[in-house]
Structure 1
Amino acid sequence: MLRVRHEVDGSSGLLRAEEAAVPEAGAGELLVRVEAIGVTLPTVRRLRDSREPLPLGGEIAGRVVATGPGVTAFAVGDRVTGLCFADAYAEFAVLPTAMASHVPDDATAVEAVALVRSGLVARGAHEAARIEPGESVLVTAAAGGVGTLALQFATAGGAGRVVAAVSSAAKAGLVRSLGADEVVLYRDLDRSGPYDAILDGVGGDLLAPAVRTLAPGGRLVAYSSGGGTVEAYELLLRGASVIGFQIRALATGRPELYARWRDDLWHRRAAGTLRPAVHTPLPLADAALAHTLVEQRRNLGKVVLVP
């Protein structure tokens, strides 16, 4: 089978395609013929900054071709999606049943990897922000996999003004089609606002100017892997707050809520009220290009690899 692995050459990381043996499913695991792989910014950043080879984990969707000992909730032939912790960038991957869920018959594998994990992050960030009807909401990284869904949650939740923050004016058409009332470029963020809630998927150097646009009592939910520093004085000045959200904490700490939100994503998709946006899918062998698109923020929607 074809597999992409990470290796380090000097001070830079590389993604190399190679032939490898098909893995076997162990206890509590599924062997999946992979049809789609979701690329995420945290994975891209982690590999970029590493000085040693790392396993390529990620979101996958496909069909079960074998089950390991003790598996009862899934069978050969089932269509599934979930998070692999290693060797996700491959034609066959091993998926723990604890991280797997079924994919509806009328959904594609590409839709599955664009909807589930990103949708859960978007829903969690939205809930953490405690957005009230009529409030103003800013979504950063609004044209990305999570941001495009966060825009739709804000609109559906009755926000009075939804603003999409993006890196390029070329992304304006997409984010407006998904519910944004206004579009602001990152370089102009300081001159926008105020916002009652900010859903921030960028972090880093954008975090400080975003905090300065918060309205009195405003809330910023940080869910990116970009880090960043917040001045306590800016929060005191506005009576504002910064809230961190991590999807893994929800998955492990509140699995019932995690499952309920996941089912709700599929219900919303079926009803036509939630639409995942996908960048033109790329072949698995073009994994390095996919990472470049994400890191340089040139993507419109979720970046997906297709074996």
Structure 2
Amino acid sequence: MSKAYVHTRHGGPEVETFAELPVPSPGPGQLLVAVRAAGVNPVDWKLRNGYVRPGSAPAELPAVLGSEVSGVVEATGPGVEGFAVGDAVFGSTLTGGYAEYTLLPVAVAAHKPDALSFTDAATLPVAAATAYDGLRQADLAPGATLLITGVGGGVGVAAAQIARGLGIRVVGTASAGKKDFVESLGAVHVPSGPGLVERIRAAAPGGIDAVLDLVGGDDLRAVAELVADRTKLISAADKGTVPQLGGAALVRARTAEVLDEVAKLVLDGTLRPYVTRTFPLDRADEALRAVEEGHVRGKIVIEVAA
């Protein structure tokens, strides 16, 4: 059996509980992984609330929470090549991450480099890979200025660092309390709240070349006017609104190649995962509450096994 943290129906935290589930069996192109660490992301509680990823079917309930893990291959499904029992891996899950065992599709799984910890590796498949995809979509040249709304969360922290590594100037919006943290990323901090656009203009008198929106809603509508080329207005947070503004939703590649690339960025010092808190699996509820409340700096990780 596999200990897991699940939601039994759609709703708030009251629908979450621990459960003992059968260990899943890997199908064609899948890996059974003994989980060492699981990243915690806003999408986890959004899926619990009833959000369905575009192109995906609603999850069968009870559903294990979590979307990204690192761990060790326990078994391989039919047709799997390039992976073997005992390999250390990381990737996006098929059957949830807050569990002792999960399934990874090989299409979005990568070998974990020895120099990369399981804890850090578990932060990469969602936040870091999303940031990488967003910057590739923005396609900015060195010297350009990128605005990141909500820069203090997992995706924003990764995006700021990757952009700085590419020679891009970063302006990031976040609460006033995150000023020192945002500046430690090499970004110019702009406090959120009324008067946001005027403060951004003051912080970037040369103008904004692209926006990576991680907040959506009113903030997205407000900052849209700052970018002349609306193809450079990209949102990961409000995919319904951004097309109305002439921009585009962030497109995820979801490939093993992207995972390999973000791992290299960690190893060469460009990207620091910024794991700010860890929790054991039996405190998964606390880990998810910390992210759901929206005040996290960097990443939270559930450490499932040593």
TM bucket (normalised to shorter chain) is 0.7 to 0.9
Deviations 1:245-301 (A, max 9, x none): 121xx23xxx5xx61x43332222222122111130122233332222222211111
Calculate the TM-score normalised by the size of structure 1.
0.83
**CA-CA distance at 1:188 after TM superposition:** 4.2
Amino acid at match of 1:229: T
Structure 2 stretches lacking a partner, 5+ long: 52-57, 202-207
Q: How does 1:86-165 map to 2 (within 5 A)?
A: 86-159=95-168, 161-165=169-173
The residue that corresponds to 1:174 in the other structure is 181
**CA-CA distance at 1:304 after TM superposition:** 1.5
Q: Residues 47 and 187 of structure 1: is their aligned pair in 2 closer, same or farther, counting only changes over 3 Å?
A: farther
CA distance in 1, matches of 2:180, 2:48: 31
Amino acid at match of 2:275: V
Calculate the TM-score normalised by the size of structure 2.
0.84
CA distance in 1, matches of 2:110, 2:301: 19
CA distance in 2, matches of 1:202, 1:113: 23
| More displaced 10-residue stretch of structure 1: 36-45 or 3-12 | 3-12
CA distance in 1, matches of 2:301, 2:81: 29
CA distance in 2, matches of 1:145, 1:130: 21
**CA-CA distance at 1:12 after TM superposition:** 6.7
Contact 1:14 1:288 (C-alpha < 8 Å) held by counterparts: no
Deviations 1:144-185 (A, max 9, x none): 1111111012212222x421211x323222221111133322
The residue that corresponds to 1:8 in the other structure is 9
Contact 1:25 1:68 (C-alpha < 8 Å) held by counterparts: yes
Specify the SS of the correspondent of 1:87: coil
Structure 1 stretches lacking a partner, 5+ long: 236-240
| From 282, 298, 301, the counterpart of 1:301 | 298
Q: How does 1:43-54 map to 2 (within 5 A)?
A: 43-49=44-50, 53=61
The answer as to 2:254 corresponding to 1:246 is: no
Q: How does 1:196-207 map to 2 (within 5 A)?
A: 196-207=209-220
Specify the SS of the correspondent of 2:277: coil
The residue that corresponds to 2:204 in the other structure is none
The residue that corresponds to 2:263 in the other structure is 266
Contact 2:242 2:248 (C-alpha < 8 Å) held by counterparts: no
Contact 1:208 1:228 (C-alpha < 8 Å) held by counterparts: no
Deviations 1:2-44 (A, max 9, x none): 1111123888752101223323333332221101111222232
Q: Number of matched residues? A: 288
Contact 1:203 1:228 (C-alpha < 8 Å) held by counterparts: no
Contact 1:204 1:228 (C-alpha < 8 Å) held by counterparts: no
The residue that corresponds to 2:80 in the other structure is 71
**CA-CA distance at 1:230 after TM superposition:** 5.5
Specify the SS of the correspondent of 1:147: helix
Percent sequence identity over aligned pairs: 35
Contact 1:137 1:197 (C-alpha < 8 Å) held by counterparts: yes
Specify the SS of the correspondent of 1:289: helix
Contact 1:208 1:231 (C-alpha < 8 Å) held by counterparts: no
Contact 1:13 1:48 (C-alpha < 8 Å) held by counterparts: no
